[in-house]
Structure 1
Amino acid sequence: MELLGAILSTATIAAMIRSATPLTLAAMGGIFSERGGVINIALEGIMLTGAFTAVLFSTIGASIGLPAGASAMLGVAAAVIFGLAIALIHAYFSITLRVNQLVSGVAINMLAFGITGLLLQLIFNVTGNSPAAPDMKPMPIPFLADIPVLGPILFQHQPIVYVMFLAVPFSAFLIKSTPYGLRLRAAGDKPAAIDTVGVDVHRIRYIGVGLSGVFAGLAGAYLSLGQLNFFSEGMTSGRGFIALAAVIFGNWRPWQAFGAALLFGFSDAVQIALQNAGMSVPSDFLLMAPYVVTLIALAGFIKKAVPPAAIGQPYPAEEPI
């Protein structure tokens, strides 16, 4: 009973929300890209770059005398901008140059891992972990934070967590209920149909991939300035791929992907709770729990997932003459 209490405690549920935040943000980005027909496995690299950029610019802000909060916000803004820039590079290769989308994504991931490690040494003169930077502090919402049970779970987080709460309904509304969302879905299913009525398929796809960079960059900033206050080499630890798993598990729909991210976040929170409870299980086994849950979830659901019909396909299908 004591172990069950630790797993279902408000602290564990709040930790689930925190663990699910970067996954949810990256998953929302993945949905925008892939509903438009562009596979984006570069989410991992974009998140990693966002995490590094956030710490770098937060440190720069502190060095020029900005308050800690302003320095952290500068870092977050920089992460979003750099995330957008890298996503647009992926869009250029995938959409304009018609490079294989998987190859482009893998290249960006490898480049991000190498460049962030190199810049960590060149700029901070360290390897492994960067020096501490001004981070984002919890921002309890007045009155709501004092509600028993729900307060600690939902209303005592850093600002990016609240952004995540808003990102899910925003994404669902934008994709389902706006003219752009209709065109985005058409670009991923039947691009030729909207092309014949004068809609620029490339433009629609560029916007979708750009939004994926914004969300993934923000997710990376949360990892380094929300959960921690420093950058660590390879700190994304596969979260970009888990976010893609949430996209597939959620059948490319925001609310369902959010549910999948919560499931993966819960598995991460549980392994932390079990370690804190002193459970006599090797720590490496507990650390791999979120990845095992991801594999099991995908193995049971992958055949039921229905991806956009034109995902991964360049448009037009043949190089114009």
Structure 2
Amino acid sequence: MTITGDAVVTTPPSAQLPETTVIRSWKTPIALAIFSVLFGVLLLAAPRTGETTFHLSTAADVLQLPEILAPVMPTAWVTLVIGILLTAAAAYFVRAFGRAPLWIVAAYIIVVVVGFLTWAAAGGTVPIAGLLAGSLGLAVPLIYGALAGVIGERAGVVNIAIEGQLLAGAFTAALVASLTGQPILGLLAAAVAGMLVAFVLAAFAIKYLVDQVIVGVVLNVLVAGLTSFLFSQVLQPNAATLNTPPRFDRIPIPILSEIPVLGPVLFRQTIIVYLMYIAVALVWVGMFKTRWGLRLRAVGEHPQAADTVGIKVNATRFWNVILAGAIAGIGGTVFTIGNGIAFNKEMTAGAGFIALAAVIFGQWDPIKATLAALLFGFASSLQNTLSVIGSPVPSEFMLMLPYLVTIFVVAGVVGKSRAPAADGVAYVKG
């Protein structure tokens, strides 16, 4: 109510601004605090002496960077203190704004990993360039799978069958490339194989309204069984002809490949990796800057509204699931022609499910999902590196490391993450 001269003006309740409620998610600071405590207990229970050497350059680099010598326990304790400060910062942001920003989580992971590496490699040498190159190599199929998952779920279809699409792509690429001697033909065949698996998913989930998760699980089992049977009955007896795939050559990009540390990692790669860079950029631009992306997100968020403005909901979903299958199929080539490795039974080893975790961690955003896939790839590469340098960490824990990281980021860090509103919901017109 306001008084102007002799007039009294009453503000109606409908004109008053409603109070906003801030929903706080404490999962991130709690998870970071738990890991800080565990790291601190590790340092107290198993102190180590000496120095750790971080080797930054490779022998082929034109510019050789000096090695970094880090005293083990002082470095580890300093990183722990920084991690505790970042945990406190995460708690402050949650209290003030409702959630912790992603950069705090990223900084915490980097700092604690440096401290853990220093402790684990005491007296040894950590090849940073090799560690990062391995991370990218292991992350490439995850990134392709995550892009497929983002496209499918943004369109409203849960693509549990990413694992099957990766496996079909790996099998087909090895077979076709072995027969023709042309890895590029294997790449194209892998895309077609992924599309065929996605076609079955789309037909049953969209046309016949079968539960999408059930269809995806069945397809994973079907592809695993079919490729294992064909491997035993066809590929293995004729391995010289049918299962000796050539590999793509590495193509260094002039100037960029000479950048210290990152140059050899990012720009001395095969065509599969360069296609991945292009795919990530195209999917992000297309999803958020084009008419195609607007229609894609509309059918995943509110299919009824999209239908009223003339968008063919089921057709849009169908063709985008097929596109996602092609991308995932190309990702499967990394397991065979990407590295010149013969196909083997179930060689994708759950990569499709980790890609799904990257989709959730990345909040259904192509760039964030890519970063999440890189994190999982780094966890796998770290496992391999620690095994090579003779880390005191038990080998059983090393094998669990990628999956522990997956659980940590999805259950403990992501916080409240909302999927597209119509994700997994079949649409029936009228």
Which TM-score applies when normalising by structure 1? 0.92
* 1:162 maps onto 2:265 in alignment: no
- Give, in whole Å, the separation in 1 of the partners of 2:165 and 2:334: 13
Q: CA deviation at 1:78?
A: 0.3
Give a deviation string over 1:137-190, Cα, whole Å, max 9, x none: 211112322222222111111111111112111111111011111111110110
Q: CA deviation at 1:303?
A: 4.5
- Give, in whole Å, the separation in 2 of the partners of 1:99 and 1:231: 32
Give a deviation string over 1:220-252, Cα, whole Å, max 9, x none: 011111134211111111100000000000000
- Give, in whole Å, the separation in 2 of the partners of 1:255 and 1:8: 27
- Give, in whole Å, the separation in 2 of the partners of 1:178 and 1:92: 26
Runs of 5+ consecutive residues of structure 1 not aligned to the other structure: 63-70
Equivalent residue for 1:132, pick from 230, 244, 251: 244
Q: Which residue of 1 aligns with 2:192?
A: 81
* 1:264 maps onto 2:376 in alignment: yes
Q: CA deviation at 1:261?
A: 0.7
* 1:97 maps onto 2:208 in alignment: yes
Q: CA deviation at 1:111?
A: 0.3
Q: Which residue of 2 aligns with 1:68?
A: none
1:1-321 maps to which residues of 2 (within 5 A)?
1-2=52-53, 4=118, 6-7=125-126, 9-62=128-181, 71-126=182-237, 131-301=243-413, 303-316=415-428
Q: Which residue of 2 aligns with 1:65?
A: none
Give a deviation string over 1:56-97, Cα, whole Å, max 9, x none: 0011103xxxxxxxx111111100011111111110110011
Question: Contact conserved, 1:117 with 1:127, CA < 8 A, in 2?
Answer: no
Secondary structure at the aligned position of 2:336 is classed as: helix
Question: Contact conserved, 2:192 with 2:326, CA < 8 A, in 1?
Answer: yes
Give the structure with the larger strand fraction: 2
Q: CA deviation at 1:112?
A: 0.4
- Give, in whole Å, the separation in 2 of the partners of 1:228 and 1:275: 23
Amino acid of the residue matched to residue 44 of structure 1? Answer: E
Amino acid of the residue matched to residue 51 of structure 1? Answer: A
Amino acid of the residue matched to residue 10 of structure 1? Answer: A
- Give, in whole Å, the separation in 2 of the partners of 1:264 and 1:127: 35
Secondary structure at the aligned position of 1:58 is classed as: helix
Q: Note closer, same or farther for the CA distance 1:128–1:117 as it changes in structure 2 (3 Å cut).
A: farther
Q: CA deviation at 1:301?
A: 4.0
Q: CA deviation at 1:136?
A: 1.6
Amino acid of the residue matched to residue 21 of structure 1? Answer: V
Q: CA deviation at 1:118?
A: 0.7
- Give, in whole Å, the separation in 2 of the partners of 1:120 and 1:8: 36
Q: CA deviation at 1:12?
A: 0.6
Q: What is the aligned residue count?
A: 310
Q: Which runs of 4+ in 1 moved over 6 A?
A: 127-130
Q: CA deviation at 1:284?
A: 3.4
- Give, in whole Å, the separation in 2 of the partners of 1:295 and 1:211: 29
Question: Contact conserved, 2:174 with 2:245, CA < 8 A, in 1?
Answer: yes
- Give, in whole Å, the separation in 1 of the partners of 2:278 and 2:126: 27
Q: CA deviation at 1:114?
A: 0.3
Q: CA deviation at 1:101?
A: 0.1
- Give, in whole Å, the separation in 2 of the partners of 1:128 and 1:95: 39
Question: Contact conserved, 1:120 with 1:127, CA < 8 A, in 2?
Answer: no
Amino acid of the residue matched to residue 215 of structure 2? Answer: S
Question: Contact conserved, 1:46 with 1:213, CA < 8 A, in 2?
Answer: yes
- Give, in whole Å, the separation in 2 of the partners of 1:77 and 1:305: 35
- Give, in whole Å, the separation in 1 of the partners of 2:149 and 2:385: 29
- Give, in whole Å, the separation in 2 of the partners of 1:216 and 1:272: 25
Q: CA deviation at 1:19?
A: 1.1
Amino acid of the residue matched to residue 206 of structure 2? Answer: I
